[in-house]
Amino acid sequence: TASATAGIKSLHSLQQTVAEDVSEMKQDLAQVKHTMKDLIKQVTKTEARISTIEVGWAGNKPLISSLAGKIEDLTECIDTLENRGHHKNICIVEAPEGEELQDLQSFVSDLLLNTLKISSDNIETERVHCSLGPYPNEGDRPCDTLVLFLRFPTRELVLRVVRTLKGKRISSFPDFSRRLMQKKKRSKFNEVVQALHDKGVKYAVLYPAPLK
């Protein structure tokens, strides 16, 4: 009898424990349901916002495309204006370098008079300076020298004379903008230009970058 009573008490205690566990599980489940409702509300709001954004994007897409096209056109116009603003400039490459850096104006005048044999009557420069960059080490290619002539025909004369030089490691090119220099159409010339240079063939690259 005592054993049966102990067994009944044990079962009653177990039943009470199970009831408490079930009650806790119900509370946890209720909390999960509440959380799920909140998540569903947030997802619904998010979907509504995304839908609004998509509708707005669809409505603004033609405008954005139009603005992107205008920006590209304006960029091209600015690049064209920059290149036309440089139409009197030349870039002298592989000119001897050293003491001339102290007086680039005199160096360029001497180069044009004594090396290119151009009459001083045709030479009027507004500005002369080295291209931006670190000073080259011994044996490296000298810095490019940028020359702004007062008149466009002077630039054309210098380019024409440089192309006729023989045995002189001096080259000159029009002062193109970085954007134009990096264009894919111009980059396709690289292999051809390198081959011409290796064979000693004179060439010129004219705005807007046809090879002549």
**What is the chain's mean pLDDT, rounded?**
75
In a domain, 48, yes or no: yes
Q: What is the DSSP letter of 203?
A: -
Separation between Cα atoms, residue 87 and residue 74, nearest integer Å:
20
Predicted pLDDT of residue 211: 45
The CA distance from 117 to 110, in Å, is 9
Say how many residues make up the chain. 212
Kindly report, residue by residue over 156-183, the tens digit of the pLDDT.
888 888 777 765 656 666 677 667 666 6
Write out the two tokens for 159.
Answer: 């380019």
- Average confidence (pLDDT) over 53-82: 85
Chain segment 101-159, per-residue pLDDT in tens: 557 777 777 777 777 777 767 677 878 877 766 776 776 666 777 788 888 888 888 88
Percent of the chain with pLDDT over 90: 6
Model pLDDT for residues 192-208, shown as the tens digit of each residue:
777 776 777 766 655 45
Three-class DSSP labels, 47-99:
HHHHHHHHHHHHHHHHHHHHHHHHHHHHHHHHHHHHHHHCCCEEEEECCCCCH
Residue range(s) defining the domain that contains residue 71: 1-84
Cα–Cα dist 149/127, whole Å: 7
Asked if 129 and 163 sit in the same domain, the reply is: yes
On whether residue 203 sits in a domain, the answer given is no
Confidence of residue 99 (pLDDT cuts 50, 70, 90): very low
The pLDDT assigned to 101 comes to 53
Percentage of residues of the chain with pLDDT beyond 70: 69
Q: Is the pLDDT of residue 73 over 50?
A: yes
Residues 158 and 133 in one domain: yes
Q: Which of 172, 167, 169, 166 is nearest to 205 (CA)?
A: 172
Tokens found for residue 27:
């509370």
Spatial separation of the C-alpha atoms in residues 4 and 1, rounded to whole Å: 5
Q: With CA atoms as reference, report the closest residue to 86 among 149, 157, 159, 158.
A: 149
Q: What is the DSSP string of 127-149?
A: EEEEPSSPPPPTTSPPPPEEEEE
Nearest residue to 100 (alpha-carbon basis) of 89, 90, 114, 87:
114
pTM: 0.45
Q: Evaluate whether residue 204 is within a structural domain.
A: no
Q: Using pLDDT thresholds of 50, 70 and 90, give the confidence band for residue 70.
A: very high
Has residue 75 got a pLDDT over 60? yes
* Selection from 201, 187, 200, 192 nearest residue 209 by Cα: 187
The residue out of 32, 50, 84 marking a domain boundary is: 84
Q: Is residue 166 part of a domain?
A: yes
Domain count, the chain: 2
